[in-house]
Structure 1
Amino acid sequence: MRIFLILFFSVVLAPMARAQPESPDPAPFIAACEAGDGFSCLYAYGVQQRADSRFWLTDEGVALFVRGCEVGSDRACWVFERINTPNPYGPIRYDRARYLPIALSGCERGSSMACWQAAGFFEDGSVADRERGEALARQSCEAGFSDGCARQADLLASLDRNALEASRAACYGNRVGRMRKLGDCQVVCAEGDGTACYELALMYHRGRDGAQTMRRDAGQARELFARACELGEEAACGR
């Protein structure tokens, strides 16, 4: 019976396998990428990655993501934050002379991720550097990237300026990202903001702060859900 089933599926599936379309030629997409189309950079990469699972480790694969970020593709910029080993993107991400111009170029073209990346190069600099970093982080935040809001809050605090609204935006936009939002939510919750208390409660309940893990605390979560409910956050009531 087993032999019969093997033969049966071999006969049935063989024509289906032959009927599968071939992968597109990446050359036109590579050309479009070089011409400034960020989507084409990612598509050319995807085509070649499907054909070779180790393509992301090659110089050609890295070059497509570098170019994609440079011309404003958020998704291409994300690759510089990969936590894979070995990671060929790491040396680029931390090479200021090489990567900062790429990130600034991507930011100018509308990449909120690139603005956030560029702002990070100015966090530990002079007052003038931090002012520039804050402007870049604000641009990222205003484009809807909550990590940009968190970085803006950090930079504003380092400049002794009011960071409450940036912290509020970071907390409200708490989603998968590299920067922790716990501190932002704590600051805003302490100001009597029910939504921030609710987001903070969810962090303790789930044991997650964006993409980062944290210690779960059921008691703290219950207290915060109750406080959020008292402050008018209906989603927290009954939790």
Structure 2
Amino acid sequence: MSSRILLFWAFLLAPVLAVGAPEAPRAPAPPPVYAPAPPPPATYRTGVEAVQHKDYRAAAPKLPGECDGGDGQACSYLAELYQKGVAVARDAGRADALLVRSCELGYMRGCNNLAVFRFASATTDAEKAATTPFLEKACEGGEGMGCSNLGFRYERGIGVARDETQARTLYIRACEQGDAEGCNNAAIAYDHPIGGPRDAVAALAAYRRACDLDRIDSCFWAAVAVEKGSGTAADLPRAMKDYSALCDRGHGRSCAAQGWALDQTLGGKENKALARTAYEKACELKYGGGCNSLGLLHEYGRGGPANVVIAAQFFDRGCEIGDANACVNMSRLYRTGRGVSLDQGTAITYLDRACELGSAAACKQLRR
């Protein structure tokens, strides 16, 4: 994720003191409180700079001249405004023409964006394949995102003949060019593996590189590798520290992983109580697996008193967020009437939802 620079202005107003005849002593008045003056409108040298500060209204009148003057980045930014209808009227044809101009001017991200833009509206295999050369140009020109997107096409056989070895090579190249998604894809290719032998050490290095490039999910998978001893010596304390830091950054799955380690790996009454807290934060951060795990702790009284009614609330929340296991557990409670009213119809509804979310066990139950 690219960082954005935010500008803040603060003003201090000096108080105006009146001078008059001396008065009788009195309690000192509290110091006056002054509201800061509103910041002046921001000024930017270029439309590109305005976009980078997310001031699209300021950017819109500047970008056309910059694009006409040969700035490919300005063309690409303006295309995105037309594509999304931000500060200008939505115009897909204008967006396409601007992306072509951007790519012709040698802005390789523009070539990548042109491929993605045209692919989104392609309806035939030939139209999809026709977008591939733009990704090839972007990748050859040093745009890591282009290499990563091209690698994905080779992995899945989209617009090109499927070639997992080539996909892996392109993911590695994307990572070398500093693309976070490319590094994550390279890690997956090393780990699962895709297009070559498994290499746990290289996978961990790629996850860490993606993490350094601010892809927080990759930080999580690096921590998982450390916990499990994949590509390095197993180190639960370090993994727990990493999970905690990621949880504090708002990554719900890391909160859940921290809770799981406390609950299942370390165990004990005190750790299970801490696990409840970790799962609760995961659930608050809308990670459904955390809601489901928290529901199980409440249902069976681990880390605190048992309360099936509260357990049902967390199962329901997890299912709503999209966790299949939480839907299965909610179905089970309705089927048995524990914590909720006995209701076979509602039990089947939750089982249907679990099946839709990919639970093979739920689908199998429905076929009985």
The question of a shared fold, defined as TM-score above 0.5 by the shorter chain, is answered with yes
Distance across 1 between alignment mates of 2:244 and 2:136 = 36
Distance across 1 between alignment mates of 2:130 and 2:74 = 22
Does the 8 Å contact 1:171/1:199 carry over to 2? no
In the TM superposition, 1:8-47 aligns within 5 A as 23-24=61-62, 26=64, 29-30=67-68, 32=70, 38-42=72-76, 44-45=78-79
2:204 to 152, 156, 167: 167
Shift in alpha-carbon separation, 1:219–1:89, aligned structure 2, 3 A: same
Amino acid of the residue matched to residue 147 of structure 2? C
Shift in alpha-carbon separation, 1:128–1:122, aligned structure 2, 3 A: closer
Helix, strand or coil for the counterpart of 1:122? helix
Distance across 1 between alignment mates of 2:89 and 2:119 = 13
1:140 Cα deviation (Å)? 0.9
Partner of 1:133: 167
Relative contact order: is structure 1 or structure 2 higher (C-alpha 8 Å, sep ≥ 6)?
1
Shift in alpha-carbon separation, 1:128–1:24, aligned structure 2, 3 A: closer
Unaligned runs of 5+ in 2: 1-40, 42-57, 264-368
Distance across 1 between alignment mates of 2:63 and 2:119 = 25
Partner of 2:245: 202
Tell me the alpha carbon deviations over residues 132-161 of structure 1, each in whole angstroms, 9 at most, x when there is no partner: 111111111112222111111222312333
1:103 Cα deviation (Å)? 1.0
Amino acid of the residue matched to residue 109 of structure 2? D
Partner of 1:74: 109
Partner of 1:192: 233
Distance across 1 between alignment mates of 2:161 and 2:170 = 14
Does the 8 Å contact 1:122/1:133 carry over to 2? yes
CA RMSD for the aligned pairs? 4.7
Helix, strand or coil for the counterpart of 2:138? helix
Tell me the alpha carbon deviations over residues 106-135 of structure 1, each in whole angstroms, 9 at most, x when there is no partner: 111111111111111011359981111111
Does the 8 Å contact 1:65/1:76 carry over to 2? yes
1:220 Cα deviation (Å)? 5.6
Helix, strand or coil for the counterpart of 1:121? helix
Corresponding pairs, count? 192
1:53 and 2:87 are equivalent in the alignment: yes
1:221 Cα deviation (Å)? 8.5
Distance across 2 between alignment mates of 1:67 and 1:185 = 43
TM-score where L is the length of structure 1: 0.57
Distance across 2 between alignment mates of 1:178 and 1:88 = 29
1:154 to 188, 193, 201: 188
Amino acid of the residue matched to residue 145 of structure 2? M
Tell me the alpha carbon deviations over residues 81-106 of structure 1, each in whole angstroms, 9 at most, x when there is no partner: 8xxxxx987336x9641322111111
In the TM superposition, 1:96-107 aligns within 5 A as 96-107=128-139
Helix, strand or coil for the counterpart of 2:130? helix
Identical pairs, percent: 20
Unaligned runs of 5+ in 1: 1-15, 82-86, 224-239
Instruction: Using the TM superposition, name which of 69-78 and 155-164 deviates more.
Output: 69-78
1:186 Cα deviation (Å)? 1.6
1:114 to 121, 146, 149: 146
1:30 Cα deviation (Å)? 4.0
Tell me the alpha carbon deviations over residues 17-70 of structure 1, each in whole angstroms, 9 at most, x when there is no partner: xxx9x93482662473xxxx5324235547879x96354542211342355467
Shift in alpha-carbon separation, 1:179–1:149, aligned structure 2, 3 A: same
Amino acid of the residue matched to residue 137 of structure 1? Y
Helix, strand or coil for the counterpart of 1:203? helix
